[in-house]
Structure 1
Amino acid sequence: MCGFSRRFDASYRGAHESIASGEFGLPIIFRSQTADLLDQSGFFVEYAKTSGGIFVDCFTHDIDLMLWFMGEERKVKSLQAVGVTAVHPGLRDSGDRDNALATVEFEGGKIAALYCSRMMAAGQEDTTELICERGSVRINMQPRKNHVEFHDSQGSRRQFPQHYYEQFREAFATEAREFTKCCLDNKPVPISLKSSAKAVAIGQALQRSLISGEKIVFGNDLTSSSKL
């Protein structure tokens, strides 16, 4: 099982259960972002040489969520990505960016809009929104480290998580417990390898589009693609 931890987050699970129940109708638009705290040490410049790029390295969790909510068997019709190197120009040498946007078109009239960043000033900002036929579902649209707010002469403010683990540590613990139980009780794991491989393939295709600047249109599966 691949470690896509957000599927084990209580808020994401609650949102998925509500949508799966049909309460809001079918999801039509999926919008999600992973936005990391700005790293001024230059770590990402070196790491990007082997990381696979911003969509594979930072964004596979959002892509996995996209498949989970929109349908793991639903076929991708096309995708396109663009990006900039706003604070780490050295990333271009590795074919990478520190900010990137993407659109993914599915068969059946569904669309996903994806945003990834490595330059947030306040901290980790990972959010998701699903626009459905009869309403919308929003997860973590106002990121917070805890429920403490500060009020002073400068106004009101709250602290943000500073990294991915700080935001999703409970999800990691839930994932570890459930995976262990699957091993001990010989039960199926909650995430299929087929779905995880598809998420990585989409991330790789987005990275190719990011570098080439071209839209990628797919045939019957992710391996039979042709560029427009």
Structure 2
Amino acid sequence: MRVGLLGLGRIGVFHAATLSTLVDDLVVSDMDHARAEEVAGRLKVRVGDPFDADAVVIATPTSTHAEALLRACDLGVPAFCEKPAAPSVAETLRVAEAVERSGTAVHIGFQRRFDAGYTAARDALRGDELGELHRVHLLTADPKPPAAEYVALSGGIFRDCHIHDFDVLRWVTGREVDTVYATGSNRGEAFFTEAGDVDTSAALMTMDDGTLVTLQGSRYNGAGYDVRMELAGTRATWAVGLGDRTPLRSAEGFDPGGEPWPDFQARFDAAYVAEMHAFLAMARGERESPCTVQDALAALYLAEAADLSLREGRPIHLLEVVK
């Protein structure tokens, strides 16, 4: 099987290293040709046209995702694309229409769907181990902020960061969100305010069955990278993300004791590998897409609603942003 990979930034190189052990022929490409040659030489793979392949992995900057996916659809090449499918709702709808029209298999990269903890919580909830779900809490906290240049183009914390929370909320619970009431503040660098963004975020969501969901986020969690989910039901409460590397200490003396997670890639290393296995299975026709463009669109609608709520200071019903 020949797989092409487009984009050799940090996550692209990680995917390339994984794929180099899983497929017979990997073709890589990057706008920086010297970088492509260096990575190809190190991994003992080839530089070439990534679309001249049986499947393609798209790990380029967000602004290029839509056009790359449209090309894959035109060629009928199964595609994996890092989130989001496109930076805007209009472009995501364009991609979704092309996918439906062409019948091309597309997998959007929301790696938390492949994390062992989230998978176990989903199975427990679906297996009625928690009873009737009443409350969910989500947390995503970075140890330090990204560069100012990145923040300016990121689309804001809800689209860039919390879109993962929105996706995994839908995936774990199997329910949809009705309303979003979001807020945020800036206590750090001025470039967040200058970009119209916040460095600290919170939201209250009500799901279509009345379940209440709270969400928190930070770009300044100095203790380490912290990602958790709590699901409280009438029979049990489950937590995802509590382990010996969770950057959390109890006032009563409990200390996980391990080295805190430094970043998202270290935390989800195994999930990223599992994600590539799932993509290749999809490309071979052995399974359906584990995360469709429609799933990505649903998560983007939630991010749009949260951003609108932040700006207007009021609860937003999803129907206000759904096109």
Bucket of the pairwise TM-score, normalised by the shorter protein: 0.7 to 0.9
- For the pair 1:85 / 2:186, whether they are aligned, the reply is yes
2:128 aligned to 22, 25, 50, which one? 22
- For the pair 1:4 / 2:149, whether they are aligned, the reply is no
Check whether the contact 1:125–1:143 (CA below 8 A) recurs between aligned residues: no
Q: CA deviation at 1:77?
A: 2.5
Q: CA deviation at 1:144?
A: 0.3
Q: CA deviation at 1:157?
A: 4.2
Question: Unpaired runs of 5+ in structure 2?
Answer: 1-106, 247-254
Question: Unpaired runs of 5+ in structure 1?
Answer: 146-154
Counterpart residue number, 1:36? 142
Distance 2:125 2:286 in 1: 29
Task: Note the alpha carbon deviations across 1:136-192, whole angstroms, 9 max, x for none.
Answer: 1101134607xxxxxxxxx98431111100000000000001111110135311223
Counterpart residue number, 2:263? 163
1:196 aligned to 279, 296, 300, which one? 296
- Aligned residue pairs total 210
Check whether the contact 1:128–1:141 (CA below 8 A) recurs between aligned residues: no
> Residue 201 of structure 1: SS of its match in structure 2?
helix
User: Which has the larger strand fraction?
Assistant: 1
Q: CA deviation at 1:218?
A: 3.8
Counterpart residue number, 2:156? 53
Check whether the contact 2:199–2:219 (CA below 8 A) recurs between aligned residues: yes
Runs of 4+ more than 4 Å apart: none
Q: Which has the higher contact order (CA 8 A, sep 6+)?
A: 1
Supply the AA of the counterpart residue of 1:26. E
List aligned pairs for 1:144-223, cutoff 5 A.
Answer: 144=245, 157-219=257-319, 222-223=321-322
- Give TM-score scaled by structure 2 length: 0.61
> Residue 100 of structure 1: SS of its match in structure 2?
strand
Distance 1:21 1:156 in 2: 29
- For the pair 1:108 / 2:209, whether they are aligned, the reply is yes
Supply the AA of the counterpart residue of 1:196. A
Q: CA deviation at 1:113?
A: 0.6
Distance 1:79 1:104 in 2: 5
Task: Note the alpha carbon deviations across 1:25-52, whole angstroms, 9 max, x for none.
Answer: 132211111100124xx60x22122111
- Give TM-score scaled by structure 1 length: 0.85
Counterpart residue number, 1:150? none
Distance 1:143 1:103 in 2: 29
Check whether the contact 1:27–1:69 (CA below 8 A) recurs between aligned residues: no
Distance 2:256 2:174 in 1: 40
Distance 1:69 1:99 in 2: 25
List aligned pairs for 1:110-129, cutoff 5 A.
Answer: 110-129=211-230
Check whether the contact 1:83–1:101 (CA below 8 A) recurs between aligned residues: yes
Task: Note the alpha carbon deviations across 1:118-143, whole angstroms, 9 max, x for none.
Answer: 00112100011001121111011346
Distance 1:143 1:120 in 2: 17
Q: CA deviation at 1:3?
A: 0.5
Supply the AA of the counterpart residue of 2:322. T
> Residue 124 of structure 2: SS of its match in structure 1?
helix
Note closer, same or farther for the CA distance 1:143–1:113 as it changes in structure 2 (3 Å cut).
farther
> Residue 197 of structure 2: SS of its match in structure 1?
coil
Distance 1:19 1:65 in 2: 13
